[in-house]
């Protein structure tokens, strides 16, 4: 799709270049050579190497950066520097950043983690929309982000984490209708560019039956037109195993997250709680793995990661028929290993007006 487009020629600062092309060039040319090392997290990406690799046979090595070249700014900073020289690009970046810093950074990080053969899920962390205008603004930001990612060549296999309350679910009047319309527009655009959308709930509402029901109803409606639309389920709720059975359908994407840990427990209590969390995760994951859908195991727990791999092997799943996801946005040792071994692996990249929350 993107690869079939004619290659642009000329100066990257020419007026004929699109804003996305300028940002893409900044990502590729940030340090002048191939990517050697990067420290990847939700808030910062320290570049101490160069641009993306052009050969899949040369795996990138990602490990915590211990030094930083003072003469080279991070990729996102260089993107803004270059974009500022092109009026069209400057206007687009200003529009993206009006609500808060981050969209350009998120796309730069998505391109950078691809060098480690890791996919990205972009999560716009913003407030709940309490009126149609705020919901429309959030929707417009997602559409612009998808368009920019498409023109920059990084939309394929990109995932968008979409909280329905951010696009109108909580609007007092006709909230469900507004959220459905906005989400449908985002899902349709994502399908056009090769990306996916995963519906989510704000963490404080994750245990509310009404919020989960509303998400699942919207999911069912959206999948009629965009079957690749997915949803987040959290273990630890009495209903989660049953919800997994309902969603174990052909092509249905389900991101399974472990339930929240209880704070301040004694050592025996903490151990029991950890075992309970693993047991709940295993029960739900087993249902998804045995079904015809597409499970996404979102966990940083080495024990649950090993369990996921064993379950996949037990039911005969190919490594491209499910995926591992890092919860925190940090590409840790386990997920780097999984990606190197050929498992589909994804990391969450957060941006937006609010600071990303800790893992759900």
Establish if 324 belongs to a structural domain: yes
Residue 105 is predicted with a pLDDT of 80
Q: What is the mean pLDDT of residues 293-301?
A: 95
Average pLDDT, the chain: 75
Establish if 1 belongs to a structural domain: no
What the block records as the tokens of 2 is: 């993107």
Residue 236 is predicted with a pLDDT of 83
The total of other beta-carbon atoms located within 10 Å of residue 310's CB is 12
CATH number where 135 lies:
3.20.20.220
Range of 202's domain? Answer: 19-351
Establish if 33 belongs to a structural domain: yes
Give 21's pLDDT tier (boundaries 50, 70, 90). Answer: very low
Burial level of 210, CB count in 10 A (0-12/13-18/19+)? Answer: exposed
pLDDT at 41 over 80: no
Domain count for the chain, please give it: 1
Establish if 359 belongs to a structural domain: no
Q: What is the mean pLDDT of residues 128-150?
A: 93
**Sign of the alpha-carbon torsion through 327, 330, 332, 338:** positive
pLDDT at 304 over 50: yes
Establish if 71 belongs to a structural domain: yes
Q: Are 231 and 198 in contact (CB under 8 A)?
A: yes
Establish if 189 belongs to a structural domain: yes
- Long-range contacts of 331-340, Cβ-Cβ distance < 8 Å, separation of 24 or more: 331/40, 331/62, 331/113, 331/116, 331/118, 332/300, 334/300, 334/302, 334/305, 335/118, 335/300, 336/62, 336/116, 336/118, 338/305, 338/309, 339/116, 339/117, 339/118, 340/59, 340/117
Establish if 194 belongs to a structural domain: yes
Give the least confident one: 108-112, 145-149, 350-354. Answer: 350-354
Establish if 198 belongs to a structural domain: yes
């Amino acid at each position: 799709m993107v690869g079939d487009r004619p290659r642009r020629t000329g100066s990257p600062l020419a007026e004929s270049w699109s804003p996305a092309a300028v940002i893409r060039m900044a990502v590729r040319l940030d340090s002048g050579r191939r990517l050697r090392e990067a420290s990847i997290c939700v808030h910062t990406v320290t570049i101490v190497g160069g641009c993306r690799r052009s050969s899949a046979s040369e795996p990138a090595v990602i490990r915590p950066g211990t030094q930083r070249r003072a003469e080279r700014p991070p990729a996102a900073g260089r993107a803004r520097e270059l974009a500022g020289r092109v009026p069209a690009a400057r206007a687009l970046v200003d529009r993206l950043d009006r609500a808060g810093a981050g969209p350009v950074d998120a796309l730069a990080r998505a391109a950078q983690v691809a060098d480690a053969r890791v996919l990205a899920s972009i999560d716009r962390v913003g407030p709940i929309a309490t009126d149609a205008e705020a919901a429309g603004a959030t929707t417009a930001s997602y559409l612009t982000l998808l368009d920019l990612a498409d023109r920059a060549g990084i939309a394929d296999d990109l995932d968008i984490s979409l909280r329905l309350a951010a696009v109108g679910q909580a609007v007092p009047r006709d909230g469900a209708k507004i959220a459905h319309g906005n989400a449908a527009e985002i899902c349709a655009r994502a399908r056009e560019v090769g990306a996916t959308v995963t519906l989510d709930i704000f963490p404080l509402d994750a245990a509310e039956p009404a919020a989960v029901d509303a998400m699942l109803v919207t999911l069912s409606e959206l999948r009629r037109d965009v079957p690749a639309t997915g949803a987040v389920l959290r273990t630890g709720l009495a209903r989660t195993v049953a919800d997994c059975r309902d969603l174990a359908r052909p092509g249905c994407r389900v991101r399974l997250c472990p339930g929240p840990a209880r704070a301040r427990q004694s050592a025996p209590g903490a151990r029991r709680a950890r075992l309970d969390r693993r047991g709940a995760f295993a029960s739900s994951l087993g249902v998804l793995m045995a079904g015809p859908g597409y499970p996404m195991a979102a966990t940083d727990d080495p024990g649950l990661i090993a369990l996921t791999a064993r379950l996949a092997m037990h039911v005969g799943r190919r490594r491209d028929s499910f995926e591992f996801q890092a919860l925190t946005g940090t590409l840790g040792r386990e997920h780097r290993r999984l990606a190197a071994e050929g498992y589909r692996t994804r990391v969450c990249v957060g941006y937006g007006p609010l600071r990303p929350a800790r893992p759900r």
